[in-house]
Amino acid sequence: MQPAHDATMSSEEEDERDWSDWGDDVDEDLTKSLFSSAILSSAKQAIEHDASEHGFDLRNFRAQVGQRNAGSSESGVIGPNLIT
């Protein structure tokens, strides 16, 4: 069942509910640090930031988890193409 149209809603409010253009001006490469509020321009820069500023290297962590889980069905927890 669809909600009834709200007759008091302005045309502008209805346009704001149209999400068809959502994300058009968003830089999809922006990535937040895992440990701070820092926003970096790419996932690679965020990984490097976390390694240098917070002492956590996601690539090393991924390699260690992969070694521990080698042979288990969970070895792909962090996909191979996600972190390069």
What pTM does this model have? 0.52
Provide the pLDDT for residue 69.
Answer: 79
The average confidence (pLDDT) of the chain is 76
Q: Is residue 15 part of a domain?
A: no
Q: Is residue 33 part of a domain?
A: yes
Cβ partners under 8 Å of residue 47, min gap 6: 57, 58, 59, 83
Total count of domains within the chain: 1
Element (H, E) at 7: none
Q: Is residue 17 part of a domain?
A: no
| Pairwise pLDDT comparison (4 vs 16), residue with the higher score | 16
Alpha helices (H) in the chain, listed in sequence order: 11-17, 43-54, 58-68
Q: Is residue 7 part of a domain?
A: no
Provide the pLDDT for residue 15.
Answer: 60
Provide the pLDDT for residue 75.
Answer: 47
* Cα–Cα distance for residue pair 39/9, rounded to 1 Å: 36
Provide the pLDDT for residue 5.
Answer: 53
Full residue range of the structural domain in which residue 70 is found: 27-84
Q: Is residue 12 part of a domain?
A: no
pLDDT at 11 over 70: no
Q: Is residue 11 part of a domain?
A: no
Residue-wise pLDDT for 18-49, tens only, equals 766 666 555 578 999 999 999 999 999 999 99
Q: Is residue 3 part of a domain?
A: no
Q: Is residue 10 part of a domain?
A: no
